[in-house]
Amino acid sequence: MLRRRMSDAETETYQLYYWPNIQGRGELVRLALEDVGAPYVDVARMTTERGGGVEAILRVLEGEGGGGRHFAPPILRASDITVSQTACILDFLAGRHPELLPPDELARTRALQLELTLGDLIAEAHDAHHPIGNLLYYEDQKEEAAKRSAIFLRERIPKFFSFFESVVKENKASKREHLVGSGFSYVDLSLFHVLSGLAYAFPNRFDQVRKDIPLLLALRDRVASRPRVSAYLGSTRRVPFSSHGIFRHYPELDP
Ligand SMILES: N[C@@H](CCC(=O)N[C@@H](CS)C(=O)NCC(=O)O)C(=O)O
């Protein structure tokens, strides 16, 4: 079974279903696919005539193509399976691409825990500007966003950062300056994205806490200079940060 999946992974083209104009959580999946050099199609960025567009996402959410319904993108389709939930997608990819995580049960469970913790941080970063409702405009929840983001910046960023910095510090003792003790993994790629997003959204706060996370910043920079990641960041496949995504820069929320 494992051997069959490995050879599938070497040859097949993945289909990523994610909103076309934002990085969002889709970016965590893109980074993993890019880092292993896996062929993939960002389906919703294709024209509707070619089977793309938002309509393609809606069809997969409803279960078209088999494998059941999905609640929200990102969704990744391989030839024999369709997976949603970002951490679950990355865990699935790790099972196929050992470059994303050595095949070891303990490491795989640890990676998933850390990825889910990054997912919690991402959700809180989103709620800092949309604390009341996803479908409301920011302008309709500005007062609440000011209160929520103040707490996020004052209490939550330091707590998350201190946790992840300590994780790398512990692994450094065994000469592995990564989030998962076995070495480089997809979680490092996700950390790169989260740190980049927070630095974009909250540059003032990020500058203040920079001194507390030297190991995380060094890890972020090492990830950015990985050849395939660096090529991807300079390519048109990379959607830029914007005021529509999860990480948004509203100067009034970052005094
Ligand atoms: N826990 C899910 C969250 C997925 C999610 O919230 N996706 C967003 C885009 S990043 C979305 O389109 N949500 C629609 C909704 O929640 O109704 C994951 O990590 O994939």
pLDDT of residue 175: 87
Q: Partners of 34 in the beta sheet?
A: none
Give me ligand 1 centre to Cα 72, in Å.
5
Quick one: which atom of ligand 1 is closest to the CA of 246? 10
Give me ligand 1 centre to Cα 245, in Å.
12
Residue 122's H or E segment, with its range, is: helix 105-129
Q: Is 1 or 150 the better-scoring residue by pLDDT?
A: 150
Give me ligand 1 centre to Cα 73, in Å.
6
The span from the CA of 43 to the CA of 22, in Å, is 14
Quick one: which atom of ligand 1 is closest to the CA of 26? 10
Residue with tokens 């990819």, as numbered in its chain: 93
pLDDT of residue 67: 86
CA distances, 72 to each of 86, 155, 192 (Å):
10, 29, 23
**Does residue 56 register a pLDDT over 70?**
yes
Length of the chain: 255
Q: Verify whether ligand 1 is closer than 6 Å to residue 30 (CB atom).
A: no
pLDDT of residue 8: 61
**What is the pTM (predicted TM-score) of this model?**
0.95
What's the start-to-end Cα distance of the chain, in Å? 54
The gap from C-alpha 109 to its chain's centroid, in whole angstroms, comes to 18
The answer to whether the beta carbons of residues 193 and 27 sit under 8 Å apart is yes
Q: Verify whether ligand 1 is closer than 6 Å to residue 116 (CB atom).
A: no
pLDDT of residue 116: 98
Give me ligand 1 centre to Cα 9, in Å.
26
Give me ligand 1 centre to Cα 69, in Å.
14
Q: Which residue's CA is the nearest one to ligand 1's atom 18?
A: 85
Return the percentage of the chain with pLDDT > 70, whole number. Answer: 96
**Does residue 3 register a pLDDT over 60?**
no
* Residue 23 pLDDT level (bands cut at 50, 70, 90): very high
Q: Each residue of 199-222: pLDDT tens digit? A: 999 999 999 999 999 999 999 999
Q: Verify whether ligand 1 is closer than 6 Å to residue 25 (CB atom).
A: yes
pLDDT of residue 2: 45
- The neighbour count for residue 29, using CB atoms within 10 Å, is 29
Q: Which of 25, 86, 122, 124 to mutate to test the pocket of ligand 1 (most atoms within 8 A of CB)?
A: 25
pLDDT of residue 163: 98
Q: Verify whether ligand 1 is closer than 6 Å to residue 197 (CB atom).
A: no
Give me ligand 1 centre to Cα 110, in Å.
23
Quick one: which atom of ligand 1 is closest to the CA of 22? 10
Give me ligand 1 centre to Cα 75, in Å.
10
Q: Each residue of 77-131: pLDDT tens digit? A: 999 899 999 999 999 999 999 999 999 999 999 999 999 999 999 999 999 999 9
Q: Over range 228-237, report the average pLDDT.
A: 98
